Amino acid sequence: MDRLDRLLATAGPLLHRVDDVLATVGAPPEHRVWIQLRRVRLLPGDAARAVAVLRPDELGEAAPELRADARAYAVLAASLPGPGEWTGAAAEAYDVARQRAAAHLSGGPESLDERLQGSADLAESLVTWMRSARDSLTEVLTEVLSSAEAVTLAATEMDLATPREQEAAADIAVKVLQAVADAYEPGAELLHTSAHLVEPLVAVR
């Protein structure tokens, strides 16, 4: 459990109150929270928990393993024996097949080792992104927990929020949702630019 996990546990009641106010009475019509709600399409509590489930340390183990597999494919490709003193049509056919297999394993943009290297690069980028997203949310939760708006919402547990509580909930929601939305965009871009990694490899002919 890191700092974000601990903060989220502490901030749980506050975020629940914010979600409850927004879900039951909404926010002031011209409040900028509506922009962030349209961006994220989640209430602040759900949005914060979506970031908290990101586990960069677990994914961090993937990149070294993928690079090791890529090196193994490169070694295997280089170790495929040539026809040597073997000659004739059968030898030529074998050598063509050997070169085709070697190219599929290593060396080209559509080779297995290049795909693994690309996957390792993606894993490392995702780890960096996850840590940044978690750090951003940690800063925001630290801020809102000590805010005047948090005090306002903690002062009463009435089902029907007052206008002051409505404003306070919207102000907190803006900060949480904006942090999540801003963090989401580079992650979405990473996945978009790496979409080719899930496409089938083109067979080498």
- For position 157, what pLDDT does the model report? 62
- For position 204, what pLDDT does the model report? 54
- For position 124, what pLDDT does the model report? 95
The Cα–Cα gap between 157 and 163 comes to: 14
- For position 154, what pLDDT does the model report? 85
Which tokens is 126 given? 């995702």
- For position 181, what pLDDT does the model report? 95
CB 56 within 8 A of CB 134: yes
CB under 8 Å, gap of 24 or more: what pairs does 32-37 form? Answer: 32/174, 33/170, 33/171, 33/173, 33/174, 33/177, 36/173, 36/174, 36/177, 36/178, 36/181, 37/173, 37/177
The Cα–Cα gap between 195 and 191 comes to: 6
In eight-state DSSP terms, residue 198 is G
Residue 56 makes CB contacts below 8 A (sequence gap 6+) with 126, 127, 128, 130, 131, 134
H and E: helices and strands count for the chain? 9, 0
What average pLDDT values come out for the chain (205 residues) when binned by 10 residues?
A: 91 95 92 95 96 92 92 92 87 90 85 91 95 96 96 76 91 97 93 83 59
What is the distance of C-alpha 49 from the center of its chain?
A: 13
